[in-house]
């Protein structure tokens, strides 16, 4: 469906929550507004702009999100690219939808100020913190990025490279942090294709050949196992052959001298059963049918991976002695592995590359107690809500780093501040000269007092005057940062000398 034209019916068909008339109306109304607002606009690929909004909404629906998030997904480019304002969206769809649309718009506004790639990624990372006071904003952004990656070929080559790199280094790790394995794998593959086309072609070709070679015995193993499981009284919900994500396979092959014969989970079978005891019964039946490889049985059900992943993995000698990996899990585990929950993402995963310390934390580093409190809270909510992850996701408001806020310069640079920081603190953070010359400030375009308390995500504009070279002594009473304080004190200390 990636590059196909879709309609709002496709989005509604993929709704994972119960389709009430209220939810359907909300989604249809959001579509109507987006369609009218974007009418006549086309993308670089030539397709109607509304297709991008629809695909974004479809991706959101597939992740199990509910109607408000889907509505915000449909409207996510409206304030930025059309004549319809955020106020109109709020009037029609309420504060929550408007807040999400605004968050996505702000995320999209960040611009590279320096030329260094690292500075850019740093900014982007902070940006995510700023906007992630509502996790749904990040989900919408991931859905938006997914469609942009799927249609990346329409853009000029340099732009393709920049966006693909950003996807690999920032967006895929974020999806991984959120436990959204399916989106993470998909984004990595799309980025891989643009960043390293030669190896991408090599890997996908190899995979295709291997799959064709092995299709016959894979089909036979699926058939035979299914028969035995039925005889054993297991209610198999799904059983199917699967291949690895190309980028993941490439990473694994690099570890094994690019020798594909050394990869044992190249092709596999996934078996979905109703509950945990059925998982272990299934493992017994699989091993009774096919001999397992020694040392290749992994029980991630009793010992989940740090990001919460649960499943049983075993590698067997299948038909004709061919090696096949078998994964056994419940449908809930399967849904979690693909579309994840945020509760476990606090723990660092092992990651190679430049952003290993992504989100300020070194790998395997212990989590400070203060932050753990809200993780515990999240887990509690999750337990209360039981199995319904979508319910959990929808109500989830994560406040990353409670004592920090992030504000933006009109150029899109991110300024990190303590809570209750004022425009004076902001000005000194930008530059001491700007601090000294401050005469006034605007927050989100409106004039504010100099002791105004900046809110997370606001754009702050500092008004300065050339004649005004000295800070006011009064400022020391209300500034929050030691940086501002010491600058003010220094100005008067120098004078006293």
Which residues form the interface with Mn ion (CB under 5 A)?
A: 77, 144
Task: For Mn ion, give the closer residue by CB, 134 or 144.
Answer: 144
Task: For Mn ion, give the closer residue by CB, 72 or 222.
Answer: 72
Which residue of the set 81, 150, 196, 228 is catalytic?
81
CB 195 within 8 A of CB 168: yes
Measured between alpha carbons, how far is 117 from 165 in angstroms, rounded to an integer? 10
CB of 152 to Mn ion, least distance (A): 13
End-to-end CA distance of the chain: 73
CB of 140 to Mn ion, least distance (A): 9
Provide the edge-to-edge strand list for the sheet that holds 460-464.
446-448, 438-443, 460-464
Show Cβ contacts of residue 385 under 8 Å, excluding neighbours closer than 6 positions.
Answer: 391, 392, 395
Measured between alpha carbons, how far is 311 from 304 in angstroms, rounded to an integer? 8
Task: For Mn ion, give the closer residue by CB, 144 or 334.
Answer: 144
CB of 147 to Mn ion, least distance (A): 7
Classified as helix, coil or strand, 262 is helix
Measured between alpha carbons, how far is 404 from 127 in angstroms, rounded to an integer? 12
Provide the edge-to-edge strand list for the sheet that holds 267-273.
238-243, 267-273, 323-330, 312-317, 298-299
Measured between alpha carbons, how far is 243 from 399 in angstroms, rounded to an integer? 37
What is the H or E stretch that residue 104 is in?
Answer: helix 86-109
- Can you give the three-state secondary structure of 302-347, one letter per residue? CCCCCCCCCCEEEEEECHHHCEEEEEEEEHHHHHHHHHCCHHHCCC
Rg (CA), the chain: 26
What is the H or E stretch that residue 283 is in?
Answer: helix 276-289
CB 303 within 8 A of CB 312: no
Task: For Mn ion, give the closer residue by CB, 175 or 441.
Answer: 175
Which residue in 143, 159, 167, 163 sits closest to 65, CA to CA?
143
Task: For Mn ion, give the closer residue by CB, 80 or 237.
Answer: 80
CB 166 within 8 A of CB 124: yes
* C-beta atoms surrounding 303 within 10 Å: 8
Which residue of the set 2, 36, 80, 399 is catalytic?
80
Task: For Mn ion, give the closer residue by CB, 144 or 461.
Answer: 144
Task: For Mn ion, give the closer residue by CB, 89 or 479.
Answer: 89
CB 52 within 8 A of CB 75: no
Active site residue 81: yes
Active site residue 349: no
CB of 150 to Mn ion, least distance (A): 12
CB of 194 to Mn ion, least distance (A): 18
Which residue in 349, 343, 376 sits closest to 361, CA to CA?
349
Task: For Mn ion, give the closer residue by CB, 85 or 354.
Answer: 85
HSE-CB at 288 with a 13 A cutoff on CA atoms is 13
- H helical segments located in 132-196: 135-150, 157-166, 172-177, 181-195
Location of structure tokens 């449909």: 74
Question: Which position's Cβ is nearest Mn ion?
Answer: 144
CB of 497 to Mn ion, least distance (A): 56
CB of 144 to Mn ion, least distance (A): 4
Task: For Mn ion, give the closer residue by CB, 101 or 393.
Answer: 101
Classified as helix, coil or strand, 49 is coil
Measured between alpha carbons, how far is 80 from 195 in angstroms, rounded to an integer? 29
CB of 23 to Mn ion, least distance (A): 23
CB of 77 to Mn ion, least distance (A): 5
CB 429 within 8 A of CB 483: yes
- Active-site positions read 80-81
């Amino acid at each position: 469906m990636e590059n196909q034209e879709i309609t709002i019916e496709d989005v509604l068909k993929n709704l994972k929550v119960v389709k009430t008339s209220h939810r359907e109306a909300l989604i249809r109304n959001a579509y109507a507004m987006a369609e009218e607002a974007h009418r006549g606009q086309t993308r670089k690929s030539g397709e109607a702009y509304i297709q991008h909004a629809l695909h974004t909404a479809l991706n959101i629906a597939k992740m199990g999100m509910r109607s408000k998030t889907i509505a915000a997904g449909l409207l996510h480019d409206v304030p930025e690219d059309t004549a319809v304002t955020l106020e109109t969206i709020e009037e029609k769809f309420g504060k929550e939808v408007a807040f999400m649309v605004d968050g996505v718009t702000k995320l999209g506004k960040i611009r590279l100020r320096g030329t260094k790639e690292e500075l850019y990624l740093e900014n982007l990372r902070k940006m995510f913190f700023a906007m992630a006071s509502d996790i749904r904003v990040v989900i919408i952004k991931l859905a938006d990025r997914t469609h942009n990656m799927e249609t990346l070929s329409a853009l000029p080559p340099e732009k393709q490279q920049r966006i693909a790199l950003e996807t690999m280094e920032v967006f895929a790790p974020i999806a991984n942090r959120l436990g959204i394995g399916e989106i993470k794998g998909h984004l990595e593959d799309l980025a891989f294709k643009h960043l390293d086309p030669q190896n991408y072609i090599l890997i996908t070709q190899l995979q295709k050949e291997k799959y064709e070679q092995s299709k016959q015995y894979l089909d036979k193993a699926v058939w035979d196992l299914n028969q035995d499981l039925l005889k054993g009284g297991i209610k198999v919900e799904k059983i199917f052959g699967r291949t690895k994500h190309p980028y993941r396979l490439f990473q694994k092959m690099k570890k094994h001298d690019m020798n594909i014969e050394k990869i044992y989970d190249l092709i596999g079978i996934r078996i979905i059963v109703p509950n945990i005891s059925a998982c272990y019964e299934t493992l017994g039946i699989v091993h009774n049918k096919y001999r397992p490889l020694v040392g290749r049985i992994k029980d991630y059900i009793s010992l989940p991976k740090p990001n919460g992943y649960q499943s049983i993995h075993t590698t067997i000698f299948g038909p004709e002695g061919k090696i096949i990996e078998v994964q056994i899990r419940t449908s809930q585990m399967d849904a979690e592995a693909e579309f994840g929950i945020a509760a476990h993402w606090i723990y660092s995963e092992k990651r190679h590359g430049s952003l290993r310390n992504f989100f300020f934390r070194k790998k395997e580093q212990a989590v400070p107690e203060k932050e753990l409190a809200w993780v515990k809270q999240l887990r509690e909510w999750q337990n209360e809500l039981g199995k319904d992850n979508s319910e959990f996701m929808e109500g989830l408001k994560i406040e990353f780093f409670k004592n920090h806020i992030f504000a933006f310069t009109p150029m899109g640079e991110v300024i990190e501040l303590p809570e209750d920081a004022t425009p004076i603190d902001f000005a000194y953070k930008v530059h001491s000269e700007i601090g000294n010359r401050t005469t006034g400030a605007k927050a989100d375009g409106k004039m504010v007092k100099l002791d105004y308390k900046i809110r997370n995500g606001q754009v702050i504009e500092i008004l300065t005057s050339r004649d005004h070279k000295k800070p006011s002594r009064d400022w020391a009473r209300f500034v929050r940062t030691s940086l501002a304080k010491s600058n003010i004190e220094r100005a008067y200390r120098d004078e006293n000398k």
